[in-house]
Amino acid sequence: MQEAMIKRAKELLADGIVDRVIGWKKGEFSYDHTPAVFTSAQELDESFVCDDFTSANLSKYLVKETIREGKILAFLKPCDTYSFNQLVKEHRIDRDKVYVIGIPGGPKLDIEKIRARGITGILNVRNENYTLKIETIYGVSEMPFYEAISVKCESCKSKKHVVYDELIGEDGEVLDSNRFDMVEKLENMTSQERYDFWRSELSKCIRCNACRTVCPACTCEKCVFENPDSGIENKAAADSFEENMFHIIRAFHVAGRCTDCGECSRVCPENIPLHLLNRKFIKDINSLYGTYQAGENTTDKAPLNEYKMDDCEASIVHERGAE
Ligand code: SF4
Ligand code: SF4
Ligand code: SF4
């Protein structure tokens, strides 16, 4: 697929349809590719990559890219197209300045899952018929491909692209995902068990802000966490209250706009399962206001932005909580 992508990108550049391309650039190792903008066929040949480690969602980068002149080609996986649509809906991406090519999704790999096996000094990872051959400075290790897939791909919600100008490969379907299973388990805990679960996770937070920085729903010009008057500006949390508040405030800020892209959990250096917090909000919105998928299209009003006479009342939430 990588060859087909490079070939099509070169054609679109040569025809003047786009003047640059956003994709992934080869890293120093086979597993640390990064998002990058390419402006020539030569750059594409030298360093463009699309493989098992190109997980990063490119949509958020288009907020800044579409402020610039010209048109950019973006390669988007199915999950990324939801973020893209949501940002178009919020007027953060100028749709006319992007040529979207939909590409098949993962599952993509997470190098941290390989390291969690105690495999260190990793030089190269190869996928041979869904067995990973991991070359390290100590020799070659192996593990099954599916035991190293990223958390977001474990419960993929859709293989269908919700927006594209053209596709490379086949389009897929919306999946009957298991993404709310763990949320239900948390809901079935006692409040003390649930509190203990989240404290044990959130206490690991080093407040690096990677989750906020990567999140396509966090595109505020001036984030509340950078406002010195807020009392919660960028800094290591002083106590457990501040640790909790950072995450609760951020989850409320993205409620109804979070597409469940999984980027926050993917980048967290402490492996905090942030997606569970956001999925709890998604699940609650579904049950209180009707099933809603942020980013599915650019037209539907989000439940939290719309008032209906039959909207739930606070008392209903209270009754449900008391069950
Ligand atoms: S990415 Fe992880 S460690 Fe960093 S601020 Fe977010 S939750 Fe905390
Ligand atoms: S909160 Fe996490 S899952 Fe939701 S949009 Fe942001 S990065 Fe994606
Ligand atoms: S945390 Fe809130 S204020 Fe900060 S960027 Fe995200 S949505 Fe905006």
Pairwise CA distance, residues 196 & 306, whole Å: 35
List the residue whose alpha carbon is closest to atom 1 of ligand 2.
258
Does 255 contact ligand 3 (Cβ within 6 A)? no
Expressed in angstroms and rounded, the spacing between residue 282 Cα and the centre of ligand 3 is 17
Rounded to 5°, the CA angle 74-79-85 comes to 65
Residue 54 CA neighbour count, 13 Å, CB half? 22
Taking the CA of residue 210 as reference, the ligand 1 atom at the shortest distance is: 1
Which among 90, 304, 80 is positioned nearest to 218, based on CA atoms? 90
pLDDT at 322: 46
List the residue whose alpha carbon is closest to atom 1 of ligand 1.
268
Look at residue 34 and tell me whether its pLDDT is greater than 80: yes
Output the CA–CA distances (angstroms, integers) from residue 78 to 5, 94, 251, in the order listed.
16, 19, 23
Ligand 3, pocket-test mutation among 218, 222, 230, 277, most atoms within 8 A of CB: 218
Q: Could you say which ligand is closest to the alpha carbon of residue 202?
A: 1
Percent of the chain with pLDDT over 90: 77
Going from N- to C-terminal start, the domains of the chain cover 1-107+158-176, 111-148, 179-323
Pairwise CA distance, residues 179 & 246, whole Å: 24
pLDDT at 216: 97
List the residue whose alpha carbon is closest to atom 5 of ligand 3.
218
Taking the CA of residue 212 as reference, the ligand 1 atom at the shortest distance is: 6
Does 248 contact ligand 3 (Cβ within 6 A)? no
Model confidence over 127-183: pLDDT tens digits?
Answer: 999 999 999 999 999 999 999 999 889 988 889 999 999 999 888 888 888 899 999
Does 208 contact ligand 1 (Cβ within 6 A)? yes
Residue 275 near residue 151 (C-beta atoms within 8 A): yes
Residue 269 near residue 208 (C-beta atoms within 8 A): yes
Residue 183 near residue 283 (C-beta atoms within 8 A): yes
pLDDT band at 68 (very low <50, low <70, confident <90, very high): very high
Model confidence over 241-271: pLDDT tens digits?
Answer: 888 889 999 999 999 999 999 999 999 999 9
pLDDT at 172: 87
Output the CA–CA distances (angstroms, integers) from residue 49 to 6, 54, 55, 193, 301, in the order listed.
9, 8, 11, 44, 37
Expressed in angstroms and rounded, the spacing between residue 172 Cα and the centre of ligand 2 is 22
Pairwise CA distance, residues 75 & 81, whole Å: 9
Residue 199 CA neighbour count, 13 Å, CB half? 9
Task: Provide the b/e sequence for 187-214 (b: ≥16 CB within 10 Å).
Answer: eeeeeeeeeeebeebbeebeeebbbbeb
What average pLDDT does the structure give for the chain?
Answer: 92
